[in-house]
Amino acid sequence: MKTVSESKAFEGTQGVYSHPAATTDCEMTFAVFVPPQAAQAPCPVLWYLSGLTCTHQNVMDKGEYRRVAAELGLVIVCPDTSPRGDHVHDEKDNWQIGTGAGFYVDATQEPWSRNYRMYSYVTGELPELIAERFPVDMSRQAIFGHSMGGHGALTIALNDPERFRSCSAFAPIVNPSTADWARNAFATYLGDDESRWRAHDACLLVEDGKRFHEFLIDQGDADQFLDDGLRPWLFEEACRKSGIPLTLRMQPGYDHSYNFISTFMEDHLRWHAARLGA
C-alpha cells in the first residue's frame, strides 16, 4: 500500500492511499478518514460508495463528513467507483459504462470481466486491507452511498446482512434492472440473461427474500434523474410488502448534487453512529 497523501483534519487524519488490487488487476486508490479516537482504540468503520463519474475525491472534497465523523469516532472509507488504467477497457464517450461506472458488480462478459470486479473488491479485497492497515473495529461496520453508490450500498447490505449494522443511501438507483440509467451497463457487464441481474438489484433482492434490519434513504424531489433513474417509491413498496423498516425522506427542492448530499450527511452519520454504538 502506498500513501498518496495524509493531512490533519479535526484532530484526525484524512488520507489517500493506493495499492495493486488483484480483483481488478490494476492500481486502486481509496480515501480513509481516521478520527482522533482511533489513537486509543479501534473505531467502527462506515463505507461510503460514490456515484457515476465519481472517484474517492468527490465526497472527500464536497461531502463535509470529517467534523461529525471526528466527533462520533467513525472511520470513513471511500473506495473508487471502478478500475482505472491504460490497460483497463473503457467506453470513453459513455459515462454510464466503463471508467467511473463500475456499478459495484463483478462483470462476467469479456472484455470487462478482467478488471470490472468492483463487488469483490469492495466486499473482499479492500476490507481485508483496511482491517490489516487501519485502526478499525470490523465487528462494527455500516455502509452508505449516493446514486450508483446508493445502489451498491443497498445491494451489498441485502446480500450480507450480518456484516453491516446499518445501511443508508442518498438518491439510490433502487431498481437498476428497469432503469434507463443502468440497463445498458448491466447488459454490458452481466450479459443479456436478466436473471443474473437480480443479485444486484435492491428491489428484486427483496422480492427474492433478502432482508435487512432497516434502511434510511434521502431523496431530493427536484432531482433531475428521479423519474427515469432512481424511483425510490419502488423500493419503498418492496420494503412495505416484505416488512422491512424503511425511512424514505423526500427532501423538497433538493437535486442530485453534493449540495444535497452535504446537507444531510450529518443526519446519516449520526444515524449510523447510533446503530454502531459509536
Q: Is 213 a catalytic residue?
A: no
Residues 96 and 176: their CA atoms lie apart, in Å, by: 12
For 119, phi then psi, to 5°, come to: -60, -50
User: Positive or negative, the Cα torsion across 54, 60, 61, 63?
Assistant: positive
Catalytic residue, candidates 147, 166, 201, 272: 147
Residue 265's pLDDT is what?
A: 98
The pLDDT tens digits for 54-109 are 999 999 999 999 999 999 999 999 999 999 999 999 998 899 999 999 999 999 99
Residue 193's pLDDT is what?
A: 96
pLDDT band at 180 (very low <50, low <70, confident <90, very high): confident
Catalytic residue, candidates 50, 223, 268, 272: 223
> What single letter denotes the amino acid at residue 61?
D
Residue 57's pLDDT is what?
A: 96
Look up the domain containing 235 and give its range. 2-276
Q: Is 223 a catalytic residue?
A: yes
Residue 181's pLDDT is what?
A: 81
For 31, phi then psi, to 5°, come to: -115, 145
pTM over 0.85? The answer is: yes
Catalytic residue, candidates 146, 256, 268, 272: 256
How many of the other CB atoms lie within 10 Å of CB of 64? Answer: 14
The pLDDT tens digits for 21-69 are 999 999 999 999 999 999 999 999 999 999 999 999 999 999 999 999 9
pLDDT at 5 over 90: yes
| DSSP structure string for 82-149 | S--STTS---TT-TTSBTTB-TT-B--STTGGGT-BHHHIIIIIHHHHHHHHS-EEEEEEEEEEETHH
Sheet holding 136-146, edge to edge: 2-9, 12-21, 26-34, 75-79, 43-49, 136-146, 164-170, 215-220, 246-251
CATH code of the domain containing 170 = 3.40.50.1820
pLDDT at 275 over 90: yes
pLDDT band at 3 (very low <50, low <70, confident <90, very high): very high
Q: Is 50 a catalytic residue?
A: no
Residue 206's pLDDT is what?
A: 98
Structural domains in the chain (count): 1
* Per-residue cell: 70: 471526528
Residues 6 and 17: their CA atoms lie apart, in Å, by: 9
pLDDT at 278 over 80: no
Residue 178's pLDDT is what?
A: 95
